[in-house]
Chain A
C-alpha cells in the first residue's frame, strides 16, 4: 500500500500558499483510489500553525521541521529537511507544489532517498489502480502520461493544475522531525529578495489578462518613424487601467536588454515562450507580435486568445488565436485606454 506524503513549505508569513493547497487537493484525491494512507509534512517558519490550518485534511500523521535555519529557502537546509521528512514518513509517493523553493531541491532529494522525480506535473490520477501522471515535453508542445514502478516517486504539481484543498482548520498533533545541521549546510545565506519597484511591477500571475507586447511597438510605423515613447505610454496606461500582466516577445525583451530605443520596463522575466515563461491566465491579448511558434508555445495555458497585428498572415492567423484584429495596435490600444479610463 502506498503512503502518500503531502510535502510543503510555509510562506514567509507562516501560511501555506495557494499552490501548496492545490497539491494537497491532489494528494487527498489520490488517497482513496489507490487505497493509500496520507501523511502531511511541513517545513519552514511556523510549520505547526500551517499543520493546524490543514488539520482536517485526513492525514494520519503531521510531521514538521521548524527553526530559523529552515525558514530561508536554501538548498542545503531545505534538502536536508525534505529528506528527513520523506524518510520519517516512509513515503512511497510524495506530492508537492512546484514552487521555486521545492523545484530547487526535490530532484536532489529524490537522489538521496534513491527515488525518482517528475516535475511540471499537470495531473495525477489512478488509472486502474496505477498512478499515472501527465506532463508536457518539449516546452508545451507534446503532452504525455507516464507511470513509474520505482519508489519513492516525487511529484511536483504545477500551480493552477488542481483545485485547492478546502477544509476546516483545527489542532493537528504534530511530530517534530529533528534535522542535524553541520556547518557544511550553512555555506549559503539568503540575504534578500529583490522586488521590482511598484511602478515597474508588471508581472501579475493572478491577473485575468495577459497582455503581450511584441517588437512591432518599436518598429517604424506607417509614417516611416518609430514611436517608442508613445508605445511606452500606451502600454503603461493599459496596464494601469486593466491590471493585466505584461508579457513580451523575445525580440522585444532582447532589444530592451541591449539598451536600444526600447521599453525600459520590459525585462527577461516578462518573456513568454520557448525560453521564457508559460503563464496561466484566462485571457491573453497579443499586440505587435508576430505569433511565431517559439513565442506561442508560451501561450499553452492561456484559454482565450486575441491578437492585434497589421499583418493578416501573421502566425496568430494560422490557428493560434481565436480572434485576429488586422489593425494598428497604436490606434486600437489608444482607444481601448480611453474607454477603460472612462469606466
Chain B
C-alpha cells in the first residue's frame, strides 16, 4: 500500500513575465522599479510543483498539502485570488521581501522556520516541493538550503515526475544534460523535490475550490509573521537591464526561393 505524504510546497510570487522589468538601486540595494505596482503571479515552476503536489495528495488518501510562501502580504493576497482557485491547499504565509536581489540563504532560513511551526506536519512523511529555479533569482538554491536546515539528505532537482511505489518508496525523474532524465528510487520521505514542468497542465480556475481555500487563506494572511532579511555581506554593483534592442532588418516581398538561399548561406557559413 502507498503511504500518505505530507507535502509542503514552497512558492513565492514573481512579476508577470509580460511586464518590462527595470532595476533601481536604493539604500537597501537593488530592486525593481515600481515593484509593488507590478502585477504578480505565482512563480511558474513552483506553481507546477503545487499542481503536482495537489495531484499526489489527491491520489493518496490521508495526504495533506500546505503552500508556504514568503512574500509581501499584500502581493501574496492578490496572487492568492487566482492561485487559490486551482487546487485545495492550506496557506502558511510569511510577510517579508521576495525578489531577485533578496538573499536566498536568509529566505531559506525564514521558510524553514515557518515549516517547522506547522502543527500537524509529520516530518517523517514530508515531501518538500518547490520550483527548481525561481523566475526571480533563478538560482535553484532555496529548496536545497531549506532541506539542509531541516536535515533532509534525499534531494532531487529538475523533477518531471514522481511515482509512488507500493512498498512506500518512490521513483523520481530528474532532468539532466542532453535532454535526458535520471531515474532514481528513494526508500521514502522525507525528501526534497525541486520541480521543473512536470506533466500536468495548469488546472482550470474552480471558484468552489477558491471559496473553500479562502476561508483558511484570509486568516493565514492575517497571522503571517513578519520576516526581515539583511544584506549580510552581499553587495551588488552594475545592476542593469542591458539593451536588448537589435536593429532588425525586416525583409518583405522577397520570393521564398531567395530567402531560402540566404538562410542556407547564413547557417552554413562559419
Give A residues with C-beta under 8 Å from B. 73-76, 79, 99-101, 103-105, 107-108, 110-112, 116-120, 132, 134, 136-150, 184-185, 187-196, 201-203, 205, 208-209, 242, 244, 254, 257-258, 268-271, 274-275, 283, 285, 292-294, 297, 304-306, 308, 312, 316-328, 331-336, 338-340, 343
Contacts and interface: CB of A to CB of B under 8 A. Distances in A.
Contacts of B44: 274-275
Contacts of B23: 142, 144
B155 A105 contact: yes
12 contacts: A108-B145, A108-B148, A111-B105, A120-B139, A120-B140, A137-B136, A138-B135, A141-B241, A202-B179, A319-B244, A332-B256, A339-B261
A191 B169 CA distance: 13
B14 to A, nearest CB: 8
A118 B250 contact: no
Q: Is the interface of B mostly helix, strand, loop or mixed?
A: mixed
Given A118-B139, A142-B23, A336-B264, A100 B157 contact: yes
A335 B256 contact: yes
A156 to B, nearest CB: 9
A326 to B, nearest CB: 5
B238 A190 contact: no
A49 B108 CA distance: 38
B174 to A, nearest CB: 7
B94 to A, nearest CB: 19
Contacts of A331: 256
Contacts of B241: 141-143
Interface of B: 14-15, 17-18, 20-21, 23, 30, 44-45, 100-101, 104-105, 108, 135-142, 144-145, 147-149, 153-158, 160, 171, 173-188, 196-197, 199, 201, 232-242, 244-254, 256-257, 259-261, 263-264, 266-268
A216 to B, nearest CB: 16
Nearest to A183: B187
B242 A193 contact: no
A297 B21 CA distance: 12
Contact of B18 (A104, A293, A324): A293
B47 to A, nearest CB: 9
B246 A320 contact: yes
A62 B132 CA distance: 32
A18 B156 CA distance: 23
A289 B244 CA distance: 18
B248 A184 contact: no
Contact of B251 (A148, A190, A323): A323
Contacts of A304: 266
B71 to A, nearest CB: 16
B180 A195 contact: yes
A209 B257 CA distance: 21
B217 to A, nearest CB: 25
Contacts of A335: 256-257, 259-261
A327 B155 contact: no
A174 to B, nearest CB: 26
Contacts of A292: 18
A137 B263 contact: no
B233 A149 contact: yes
A111 B149 contact: yes
A133 B185 CA distance: 36
8 tightest CB-CB pairs across the interface, nearest first? A335-B260, A107-B141, A203-B179, A319-B245, A149-B233, A137-B100, A144-B239, A107-B144
Contacts of B266: 283, 304, 306
Contacts of B177: 99-100, 205
Given A144-B236, A275-B44, A332-B260, A268 B248 contact: no
B18 A294 contact: yes
